[in-house]
Amino acid sequence: MDRNLAIELVRVSEFAALAASKFIGRGDEKAADQAAVDAMRKCLNSLTISGKVVIGEGERDEAPMLYIGEEVGLGGPRVDIALDPLEGTTITAKGGENAMAVIALAQEGGFLNAPDVYMEKISANVQSNQVISLQQNLKSNIEELAKFKKVNVEDLVICILDRERHQEYLEVIRSTGARIKMIGDGDVSAVISSVIQTSNIDMYYGIGGAPEGVLAAAALQCIGGSIEGKLLFNNEDEIQRAKKTGINDLNKIYSIQDLAKGDIMFSATGVTDGTMLKGIKITKDYAETHSIVMRSKTGTIRHINGEHNFNIKQLEY
C-alpha cells in the first residue's frame, strides 16, 4: 500500500472524531455514533481506494451503520477495512475518558472476516503464547505473566470491562492477589495500553466485541505485543452468520496472525482525553486533534497534532 495512504487515513479518523465530539457529555449515544459513522463514510468515499468493510458495525440490514460488506472509495488499490467510527459511545455520551475514532487498512484478505459477535480476548506485552493464552485458565495466565515479568502477582494490573458477565473472572483475579482496573468501555485502547511501556496495565482480559479484537490486533501488529481471541456465539443465528463468512471451527482460538496480517495501516484519533490520546479541543471555529498512525511494514509510529480552521458546526473542510 502507498505510504501516503497513511496520512489520508488520519484524515478519516480525525473527521469521525470531530463529528462525534459535538456530542460529548450530551447523553445521546446513538447521535454521537451516527455522527461519527456519517463522517467516516463521507471521508472514506473520497479516498482513491477500492475498499471493503470486513469488520464494521454489523451486517447489511443494520445500515446506515458502516456495515460488513460495504464498499467504499473512488477506486484504486483493493483493501480490507476494519473500523469503529466511535469506540466508546457511552464514554462520549457521559464525557468520560478514552473514547476515540479507529480505522485500519490491510491488503485484501488481511483481516479476519467474522460477524459482529462477542469475542473472548487476552493481551499483554509478550511475544509468545507460551506466556499468555486462552488455552490456559485465567489464574495460570496471571501467574505465568508474573513469572515472565519477574514481579510478584500482586504487582500486576489486569484490565477488564465492567460487565456483569465478568463477575466470575473478577473473583479469579482477586483470588490471585493481582490488582484490577475496570473500564466502562473502550477495549481497543485497553488492549493497546496492555502492551505499551508507559501504561500501568499489564494484561487485558475479558469478553467484548469481535470487531474491537481485530482492530486491536491490527494495532499490535504495528507496535508489538500478543493477543488471542475466541469467537463466542449466543444463538443459532450467530452461528449461521459465522458460517456464511467461512468460519467452520466455532471453537478456534485466533492468534494475532489470524486476526490481522500483512501490510497494515492503523489510525486512531482521540475524542475524549485518554491514556493514549488527547481528546478534541474546540474553541469557537477552531479545533485541535491528536492522532496516532502506525504501519506494520515499516514499524513507524507517528503522533499527529492537527489544527483545523473550519466551521466545526458544519464539519466541512
In this structure, are 20 and 138 located in the same domain? no
Q: Give the mean model confidence (pLDDT) for residues 182-199.
A: 90
For position 317, what pLDDT does the model report?
Answer: 43
For position 61, what pLDDT does the model report?
Answer: 44
For position 311, what pLDDT does the model report?
Answer: 61
- For the chain, give the mean pLDDT: 91
Q: Are 227 and 191 in contact (CB under 8 A)?
A: yes
Domain stops at, among 229, 244, 259: 259
CA neighbours closer than 13 Å in the CB half-sphere of residue 237: 3
For position 112, what pLDDT does the model report?
Answer: 93
- Higher pLDDT: 242 or 168? It is 168
In this structure, are 219 and 234 located in the same domain? yes
DSSP code for 252: P
- Region of poorest pLDDT, from 67-81, 253-267, 298-312: 298-312
For position 6, what pLDDT does the model report?
Answer: 83
Q: How many domains does the structure of the chain reveal?
A: 2
For position 313, what pLDDT does the model report?
Answer: 56
Q: Give the mean model confidence (pLDDT) for residues 51-62.
A: 73
In this structure, are 148 and 208 located in the same domain? yes
Distance from the first to the final alpha carbon of the chain: 26
- State yes or no: pLDDT of 310 exceeds 70: no
Residue 177 lies in a domain: yes
Summarised one tens digit per residue, pLDDT across range 93-142 is 999 999 999 999 999 999 998 778 899 999 999 987 689 999 999 999 99
In this structure, are 22 and 135 located in the same domain? no
Q: Give the mean model confidence (pLDDT) for residues 232-251.
A: 90
- State yes or no: pLDDT of 164 exceeds 70: yes
Q: Give the mean model confidence (pLDDT) for residues 277-301.
A: 90
Q: Is 244 left (phi over 0), alpha (psi -120 to 50) or beta?
A: alpha
Summarised one tens digit per residue, pLDDT across range 13-36 is 999 999 999 999 999 999 999 999
The range of the structural domain enclosing residue 102 comes to 4-109+264-309
Determine the number of helices (DSSP H) and then strands (DSSP E) in the chain.
Answer: 9, 14
In this structure, are 21 and 135 located in the same domain? no
Residue 283 lies in a domain: yes
